[in-house]
Amino acid sequence: MKKSVAIIGATGLAGQQFIPALQNHPWFEIKTLAASERSAGKTYIDALREPSGSVGWWAEGFPSPDVQNMTVINSDDFDPTTVDVVFTAAEVEKEGVSKREATQALEARFAQARPTISTTSAFRYEDDVPILIPGVNNAHAALVKQQSQRGWKGFVVPIPNCTTTGMAITLKPLYDAFGINVVIMTSLQALSGAGRRGGVLGLDILDNVIPYIVGEEEKVQRETQKILGAFDGTQITPADFKVSCTCTRVNVQDGHTEAVFVSLAKPASVEDVKRVMSEYGRDIADLPSAPPQMIVLHDDPFHPQPKRDRDIHDGMATVVGRVREDPALPNGIKYVLLSHNTKMGAAKGAVLVAELMVREGYI
């Protein structure tokens, strides 16, 4: 029998992508859609409507008639014991508390009862919480056992920030094979990464690049070190290489592009780097949402391009091109990557985490 799931924040840009990721899923079925009081009581299709009446659907395909007609509930009224797994894609605002505290309170209420896979940052930096990328740090999953000390019957597992995901995936094989001393990265991030409600105004981004995304650089630095950190069965010791990044917003709908410069601990040729990247990630091949290759390499120097490459392996591959030596850094290597921010970087990446947790016996 399939496991029933709820999607919290189902009307948002990340939340919408859960619909194609879960419709016809072999292990999971959508039972509940929840969002804010703005959407509560409406059918899903009506909750997606903008004030003009147009349907604000930004994910691929279209929801099935069954999903369109589901009634969206207020997340405050959602009883997590009515489903097997909860997926969250909602940052909550409440007067008198920070966004993080309000979102933690929401996710903790679910995690007390059920496995909760989150796309938000609310719990990412807690000591008893792993930030999981299947294929990269599967062993960190065992940390969720410690969450029973909070009195929870379930647990919370966040995925990384969507800008961290592709970089951590490409760094992991390099770290394992050659070690890393320093990582420098500049991102060119898609508009959908800013969400639908907060968003970026069309007039601000048209003909423009915005050189700052609040809080993003700190998240990427901290999360990369935690994800690639060593887990000794009790705690994660963050990886000790330095990460420096500049995160920018560009006029692209979906797909974050990143220029990455790595100073390796040991010398490696371009061919060595390509080999370890292309061989990486086979241990999740049995998961239904896993891409056939985690890292897809391009030899054509005009790739990766968001428009052409973001949907490779249904947006679950990290696409890498322009791998070359960097003479400006000791043992320097540089490359360009592309990662789909609302698929691998959000909803379908969270579904992949749930699949891993099922396979490993935590769900």
Ligand X SMILES: NC(=O)c1ccc[n+]([C@@H]2O[C@H](COP(=O)([O-])OP(=O)(O)OC[C@H]3O[C@@H](n4cnc5c(N)ncnc54)[C@H](OP(=O)(O)O)[C@@H]3O)[C@@H](O)[C@H]2O)c1
- Per CB under 6 A, contacts with ligand X among 63-82 are 75
289 is an interface residue for ligand X by CB under 6 A: no
The rounded distance, in Å, linking the Cα atoms of 156 and 179 is 30
* Half-sphere CA count of 335, side-chain side, radius 13 A: 28
Which of these segments, 89-97, 175-183, 201-209, 328-336, binds ligand X (CB under 6 A)?
89-97
* Cβ pair 22, 351 in contact under 8 A: yes
Active site residue 256: yes
117 is an interface residue for ligand X by CB under 6 A: no
11 is an interface residue for ligand X by CB under 6 A: yes
Nearer to ligand X, 15 or 323 (CB): 15
Tokens in use for 200? 């970026």
Residues 6+ apart with CB under 8 A from 361: none
Closest contact distance (angstroms) between CB of 50 and ligand X is 11
91 is an interface residue for ligand X by CB under 6 A: yes
Other C-beta atoms closer than 10 Å to the C-beta of 250 total 16
223 is an interface residue for ligand X by CB under 6 A: no
163 is an interface residue for ligand X by CB under 6 A: no
Which residue among 25, 140, 162, 340 is the active-site one? Answer: 162
213 is an interface residue for ligand X by CB under 6 A: no
The rounded distance, in Å, linking the Cα atoms of 185 and 190 is 16
Nearer to ligand X, 124 or 334 (CB): 124
Which residue among 25, 140, 256, 303 is the active-site one? Answer: 256
Q: What is the DSSP letter of 12?
A: S
User: Is the peptide bond prior to 304 cis by the omega test (within 30 degrees of 0)?
Assistant: yes
| Choice from 70, 86, 92, 185 touching ligand X (CB under 6 A) | 92
Q: How far is CA 328 from CA 166, 195, 245, 324, 331, in A?
A: 23, 37, 17, 12, 9
Q: With CA atoms as reference, report the closest residue to 196 among 342, 27, 353, 356.
A: 342
Nearer to ligand X, 244 or 253 (CB): 253
Closest contact distance (angstroms) between CB of 347 and ligand X is 8
Which of these segments, 188-196, 215-223, 240-248, 330-338, binds ligand X (CB under 6 A)?
188-196
Nearer to ligand X, 113 or 177 (CB): 113
Residues 6+ apart with CB under 8 A from 270: 323, 324, 325, 333
Closest contact distance (angstroms) between CB of 92 and ligand X is 4
Q: Kind of pairing, strands 318-325 and 332-339?
A: antiparallel
228 is an interface residue for ligand X by CB under 6 A: no
Active site residue 303: no
215 is an interface residue for ligand X by CB under 6 A: no
DSSP 320-331: EEEEEE-TTSTT
The rounded distance, in Å, linking the Cα atoms of 117 and 350 is 6
Q: Which of the residues are catalytic?
A: 162, 256
Which residues contact ligand X by CB under 6 A? 8-9, 11-15, 34-36, 38-39, 75, 89-92, 119-120, 162, 192-193, 195-198, 341-342, 345-346
